[in-house]
Amino acid sequence: MPDTSLKDRCSINTNYSSDTFVGINATKDGISVSFPLGYRLGNGDNELRKDILLLMSVLSKNTNKKLSEIDKSDRKAETALPVYAYLYIISDYFTRGYYRETETVNKKAKRGKINWNRTVKTQKAYIDNDNIFYLDFIVKRQNVNEAELITLIHEYCVYVSFEALGWLFTSFKPNKPEIKWNKTLFSGIVKKKLSETFNDRNRRLFINLLSIIEYIGDEEAPKDFRYGTNDFEYVWETMIDNAYGVQNKTDYYPSTRWHINNLEYKNSYLRPDAVMIRNGTIYVLDAKYYKYGNTKQTGDLPDSSDINKQITYGEFIAENKAFRGANGKSPEVYNAFVMPYDSFGEMFHTEEELHFIGSAISDWKSSDGTSTYEKVAGILLDVKSLMQDYTHNDSRINDLADLIESKIGL
């Protein structure tokens, strides 16, 4: 692959037509990295490297087999690219070089140089006339051919790791080792080494070697791959739900049913993306991975069906007896669309993580908003800030709740 700077590899997708992929795309022509709509790239290689690692972390934690797209040449793989295994192998190689068999291997046997320490700890002792003896001992041994093979396997996995992600750190590329790929043999050797070693660092190395071997499978590792998703809206929804939502929101799903010929047929539920609660007040959040924060075009805002659905959620909660307090009063309910933006960008240069853009109402409801849920707040959320931290905490919830109530509250 031709040498290319990190800056030249990175781009922000527009979420238009074919420009929807978020992730890493590696082909014979080079490697490119596409970030989600509204992401703010850092300056310089160090910052860009952090951005790429952050993107891989978010994709790894918030996509599943259905949403992530992993291409291996002409094959489709069900397993995720072993990103962390690649990164570990590269880091370990920079620190220790190639693995060489220096650790003493211990094995239970009748003959050999006895390792008394491990024998006493692991084998059953027998007592006869006040004499202690062992039927089996832990003995030391070394297999030269096996030791050479594990080094070659490590060299191959280092080569594969640098081909996939080495460009993140250096232009150096290790040579491909002179060994024919054999998944069954390689896996067997590494598993055997893993079962025999007591060195924690070597154990971590072998575990990551196994991850790479299992990912590659029966065929030699291809150089072309795609790691990411064309459906980042699901990642956006997941992060917002994790950051703001309650864990169990099934009680807030409005349901419908048919009654035909004395039989009942249940329809599927309406499912809000996130339900946030603060001090008994309920906020229904719709995570919209829409382009408005990048364009300021009203055509890129949620439409009538989205607005009416949010009002339905709010009305269901406000009028459902199950949500009434001990005093018989219904909870106060708010609605909000949460959309991505770059808080330092040209379109909305606020430097604030959250920004209110306006509210949406429905003509079939009172225009003066007699109920708080009848106005749906439009909120922009800084993409990079959310990706860096989408943990659930009171401070974040308070910030969003305060903003919604200050703009929508009656």
Q: What is the pLDDT of residues 189-208, one digit of tens each?
A: 999 999 988 899 999 999 99
Q: Is the pLDDT of residue 70 over 50?
A: no
> Do β-strands 376-382 and 333-341 pair in parallel, antiparallel, or remain unpaired?
parallel
Q: Is the pLDDT of residue 305 over 70?
A: yes
Please write down the HEC assignment for all residues of the chain.
Answer: CCCCCHHHHEEECCCECCECCEEEEEECCEEEEEECCCCCCCCHHHHHHHHHHHHHHHHHHHCCCCCCEEEECCEECCCCCCHHHHHHHHHHHHHHCCCCCCCCEEEEECCCEECHHHHHHHCCEEEECCEEEECCEEEEECCHHHHHHHHHHHHHHHHHHHHHHHHHCCCCCCCCCCCCCCHHHHHHHHHHHHHHCCCHHHHHHHHHHHHHHHHHCCCCCCCCEEEEECCHHHHHHHHHHHHHCCCCCHHHCCCCEEEECCEEEECCCCCCCEEEEECCEEEEEEECCCCHHHHCCHHHCCCHHHHHHHHHHHHHHHHCHHHCCCCCCCCCEEEEEEEEECCCCCCCCCCCCEEEEEEECCCCCCCCCCCHHHCEEEEEEEHHHHHHCCCCCHHHHHHHHHHHHHHHCC
Stretch 171-191: mean pLDDT:
88
Taking residue 185's Cβ as centre, other Cβ atoms within 10 Å add up to 14
Question: Residue 18: pLDDT band by 50, 70, 90 thresholds?
Answer: confident
Better-predicted residue by pLDDT, 195 or 80: 195
pTM for the full predicted model:
0.79
Question: Residue 170: pLDDT band by 50, 70, 90 thresholds?
Answer: confident
Q: Is the pLDDT of residue 309 over 60?
A: yes
Please write down the HEC assignment for all residues of 214-230.
Answer: HHHCCCCCCCCEEEEEC
Question: Residue 104: pLDDT band by 50, 70, 90 thresholds?
Answer: low
> Do β-strands 274-278 and 263-266 pair in parallel, antiparallel, or remain unpaired?
unpaired
pLDDT digits (tens, 9 = 90+) for 251-297: 888 888 899 998 999 888 889 999 999 999 999 999 999 999 999 99
Amino acid at site 20: T
pLDDT digits (tens, 9 = 90+) for 230-255: 999 999 999 999 999 998 888 888 88
d(CA 370, CA 388): 38
Question: Residue 71: pLDDT band by 50, 70, 90 thresholds?
Answer: very low
Instruction: Tell me phi and psi for residue 283, to 5 degrees.
Output: -125, 120
Q: What are the residue ranges spanned by the domains of the chain? A: 6-101+145-229, 105-141, 232-408
For the chain, give the mean pLDDT: 85
pLDDT at 78: 31
**Are the CB atoms for 56 and 229 separated by under 8 Å?**
no
Indicate the range of 56-70, 88-102, 322-336 predicted with least confidence: 56-70
Instruction: Tell me phi and psi for residue 251, to 5 degrees.
Output: -65, -20
pLDDT at 73: 36
d(CA 263, CA 266): 10
d(CA 302, CA 60): 28
Amino acid at site 391: T
Bridge partners (DSSP) listed for residue 113:
140
